[in-house]
Amino acid sequence: MVDTAVSTAPSASRTSAAGADARIDVPAVTDLLLGTWKEIRLEAREMIADSAFWRIDGLSHHAHRERVLDQTRLLAQHGAGGRAYPVEYGGMATNGGNLAGFEELVLADPSLQIKSGVQWGLFGSAVYQLGTKSHHDRWLRDIMDLRILGAFAMTETGHGSDVAAIGTTATYDPETEEFVIHTPFRGAWKDYLGNAAVHATAATVFAQLISRGVNYGVHCFFVPIRDANGVFLPGVGGQDDGVKGGLNGVDNGRLHFDRVRVPRENLLNRYGDVAADGTYSSPIASPGRRFFTMLGALVQGRVSLDGAATWASGLALKIAITYGNQRRQFDNGAGETVLLDYAKHRRRLLPLLATTYAQAFAHDELLVKFDGVFGGTADTDDNRQDLETLAAALKPLSTWHALATIQESREACGGAGYLAENRLVTLHQDLDVYVTFEGDNNVLLQLVGKRLLGDYAAQFKGKDARALAAFAVGETADKIFHGAGLRQLGQAFADLGSTARSVEHGLRADDQQQLLTERVQRMVADVATRLRPSAKMSPADAAALFDENQVELLEAARAHGELLQWEAFTDALGRVDDAGTRQVLTWLRDLFGLGLIEKHLAWHLLNGRLSTQRAAAVSRYIDRLCARLRPHAQDLVDAFGFAPEHVRAPLASGAEQDRQDEAAAYVAALAASGDAPVRERKPAR
């Protein structure tokens, strides 16, 4: 379609030249991206510049596991294991900083990030967050320095995301004051547990706590599983999960328990305890709220995956865009064209770069929120719930984005991208599982969707249906159920970028915000309205009605997360002083925002939010933004701040440029020599 709204715009090539007027201040943008815990990130990056931490391709999974174990010991020597734990145990008591440091490990080897995350972030955190002082005293130091390696035994073969329904039982025996840990059937075996196949000597086992004939729901127990020689203790058994799609430096496996007895004191009893006589007590009376509180204490896994996925995306783009800036293919009459000078190549990579930036900014806000809750400065029930919702909204988006970005980067590098040495394929393999672990992405989005519905419904307590209907079509709904986001109701944006002369009429920052916000609002209100009859239905009919709306609810949750990312990017613009940097980053933010609008263009049209004329301008404007950003693409990936020791892809080392130069010199010398063959003449017709 010819887009009259932008048809007088300069062509892509001329725009590129114009765009070169502005320049970004690369170190300043690096600071911005590194965020609140910049220093810890830089320390981590310096540490992993040591080749001892790097992934080696082609190792057997057995050798890879041992290498990563050694690397984890190295990490412990660097003090990386204790950053989250209290100072009295030798830790640093920094929650946000701890995760920031771990996230960087993805650049060395994602297996190292995950294995150390299992040890200190899941197993160790279960002891720390779900246990009490006696547990900390007994185990935290040993966990920090790897005298105890542990598995986090929550997931079962038969139950993954639905933790409340696990089959493993912990039945209290008042005679001996012990819990009897038992796996009653094959589906209740613990499965996919890092450290479980070989290295773990203990596990934090989640099981249904039963005392005096009552099931008090899922609790966590510290259970020794192997002796010092690595042999299973009596009653404990297991299996190796074997080769996986990636992360083969982590020894995932299965565990099962045949009436294994542990002392009563091995119940991690912060949120629920059993007295010697079997009496159960808990500071949280509601079983449901108790369960979610315990799970919520372990939210950090999701938070850190959001960050690691973002850096992995940045690394993939650093590789692909560096190569795309050097590689030439096909002669268009004026010499061979650099890949990034093709419109399609820009369209493939630059929108992904914009999203990666948005994620980096949103992630830092998530990390700040996490630090506030877990560091105690903002530890309220509301904040905990907001944090969980925020993590559940962002982790799915960033982990899926990582896979899409790494894959597109791999394809953009052609056959060279398929070689392991260039890292893109192994990065994809390792991050693949991020989209289903620590909460399956779709399950997490459903949590977000239900929270949005709950917030929406909370506005109508005591109001009648007419008020609800009026509200649903009103303009204020988003102000109310947008509370679970990054900012408070009514907070002004530091900068909407609306003064930038480059922004098209009707697609400015405030238009973008309005379109993105109204979409969340409308979808949630629509689903809520359609679900209202379910209150008077049978459970089966209510479930069927919910099912009919599930797809749209998940889409609303995704739209909510996208809006939060957009807002975080926009907020970050307000922290930029340099005019050129601000200009370029504003284009990048616009590319992100318009990319979201383009993705859902039909929705905006069908819901009357965009006129046909404005809608028709979106795609063309995105093409122009890609052309404007093209001269800055290298700066923008350089701003991730990766050193050659972090990139390590021969493809992006400058070797391609060297080969181009050598070939060009050869051709030039041959031409100068007069010995160059001439082209065959075209035959006369």
Q: Is 137 in the site for a copy of itself (CB under 8 A)?
A: no
Quick one: CA dihedral 238, 241, 242, 247, positive or negative?
negative
Q: Is 439 in the site for a copy of itself (CB under 8 A)?
A: no
Residue number with CB closer to a copy of itself (54 or 192): 192
Q: Is 336 in the site for a copy of itself (CB under 8 A)?
A: yes
Which residues are 237's β-sheet partners?
256
CA distance 682 to 670: 23
The end-to-end CA distance of the chain, in Å, is 38
Give me the 174-203 binding string for a copy of itself, x by CB under 8 A, dash otherwise.
----------xxxxx--xx-----------
CB of 89 to a copy of itself, least distance (A): 32
CB of 51 to a copy of itself, least distance (A): 17
CA distance 434 to 441: 9
Q: Report the half-sphere exposure of 430 (CA within 13 A, side-chain side).
A: 32
Identify the residue whose tokens are 């765009």. 19
Q: Is 347 in the site for a copy of itself (CB under 8 A)?
A: yes
Residue number with CB closer to a copy of itself (225 or 557): 557
Is residue 256 classed as helix, strand or coil in its secondary structure? strand
CA distance 348 to 324: 11
Query: Cβ(472)–Cβ(529) under 8 Å?
Result: yes
Amino acid at 376: G
CA distance 598 to 602: 8
Q: Is 577 in the site for a copy of itself (CB under 8 A)?
A: no
Query: Cβ(266)–Cβ(223) under 8 Å?
Result: yes
- Judged by CB under 8 A, the residue of 39, 46, 475, 548 near a copy of itself is 548
CA distance 573 to 567: 10
Q: Is 277 in the site for a copy of itself (CB under 8 A)?
A: no
Give me the 451-490 binding string for a copy of itself, x by CB under 8 A, dash otherwise.
----------------------------------------
β-strand pairing of 336-338 with 260-263: unpaired
- Structural tokens at position 136: 């900390």
- Judged by CB under 8 A, the residue of 530, 534, 645, 653 near a copy of itself is 530
CB of 525 to a copy of itself, least distance (A): 11
Residue number with CB closer to a copy of itself (525 or 568): 525
Contacts of a copy of itself in 490-529 (CB under 8 A): 526, 529
CB of 510 to a copy of itself, least distance (A): 22
- Judged by CB under 8 A, the residue of 197, 255, 435, 573 near a copy of itself is 435
CB of 365 to a copy of itself, least distance (A): 27
Give 209's contacts (C-beta < 8 A, 6+ positions apart).
170, 172, 179, 215, 216, 217, 218, 219, 267, 272, 274, 280
Which is nearest to 586 in space by CA: 607, 569, 602? 569
- Judged by CB under 8 A, the residue of 259, 344, 463, 479 near a copy of itself is 344
CA distance 285 to 281: 8
Amino acid at 69: L
Is residue 169 classed as helix, strand or coil in its secondary structure? strand
Identify the residue whose tokens are 């200190």. 120
CB of 489 to a copy of itself, least distance (A): 26
Give 382's contacts (C-beta < 8 A, 6+ positions apart).
none
- Judged by CB under 8 A, the residue of 21, 464, 547, 577 near a copy of itself is 547
CA distance 81 to 87: 12
CB of 45 to a copy of itself, least distance (A): 26
CA distance 285 to 282: 6
Residue number with CB closer to a copy of itself (490 or 674): 674
CB of 3 to a copy of itself, least distance (A): 10
Q: Is 167 in the site for a copy of itself (CB under 8 A)?
A: yes
- Judged by CB under 8 A, the residue of 142, 278, 545, 635 near a copy of itself is 545
Q: Is 88 in the site for a copy of itself (CB under 8 A)?
A: no
Q: Is 58 in the site for a copy of itself (CB under 8 A)?
A: yes
Q: Is 261 in the site for a copy of itself (CB under 8 A)?
A: no
Give me the 644-673 binding string for a copy of itself, x by CB under 8 A, dash otherwise.
--------------xxx-xx--x-------
Instruction: Give the number of other Cβ atoms within 10 Å of residue 271's Cβ.
Output: 19
CB of 259 to a copy of itself, least distance (A): 15
- Judged by CB under 8 A, the residue of 77, 281, 499, 550 near a copy of itself is 550
Residue number with CB closer to a copy of itself (46 or 658): 658
- Structural tokens at position 597: 């609008």
Contacts of a copy of itself in 402-421 (CB under 8 A): 403, 407, 410-411, 414-421
CA distance 440 to 396: 8
Residue number with CB closer to a copy of itself (377 or 673): 673
Contacts of a copy of itself in 102-131 (CB under 8 A): none
Number of residues that bind a copy of itself (CB under 8 A): 117
Contacts of a copy of itself in 587-646 (CB under 8 A): 598, 601-602, 605-607, 612, 615-616, 623
Which residues are 208's β-sheet partners?
169, 218
Residue number with CB closer to a copy of itself (233 or 601): 601
Sequence-ordered strand ranges (E) for 425-507:
none
Q: Is 296 exposed, middle or buried (0-12, 13-18, 19+ CB in 10 A)?
A: middle
CB of 29 to a copy of itself, least distance (A): 28
Contacts of a copy of itself in 281-320 (CB under 8 A): 285-287
Q: Which stretch binds a copy of itself (CB under 8 A): 24-32, 91-99, 541-549, 639-647?
A: 541-549
Residue number with CB closer to a copy of itself (231 or 684): 684
Amino acid at 308: A
Which is nearest to 128 in space by CA: 79, 95, 172, 168? 95
CA distance 37 to 364: 9
Identify the residue whose tokens are 């039945």. 171
Q: Which stretch binds a copy of itself (CB under 8 A): 18-26, 146-154, 468-476, 535-543?
A: 535-543
Which is nearest to 445 in space by CA: 383, 397, 517, 477? 397
Q: Which stretch binds a copy of itself (CB under 8 A): 94-102, 105-113, 330-338, 580-588?
A: 330-338
Buried b (16+ CB within 10 A) or exposed e, 298-336: bbbbbbbbbbbbbbbbbbbbbbbbbbbbbbbeeeeeeee
Residue number with CB closer to a copy of itself (95 or 111): 111
- Judged by CB under 8 A, the residue of 57, 70, 227, 258 near a copy of itself is 57
- Judged by CB under 8 A, the residue of 425, 496, 573, 596 near a copy of itself is 425
CB of 606 to a copy of itself, least distance (A): 5
Contacts of a copy of itself in 201-220 (CB under 8 A): 208, 210, 213-217
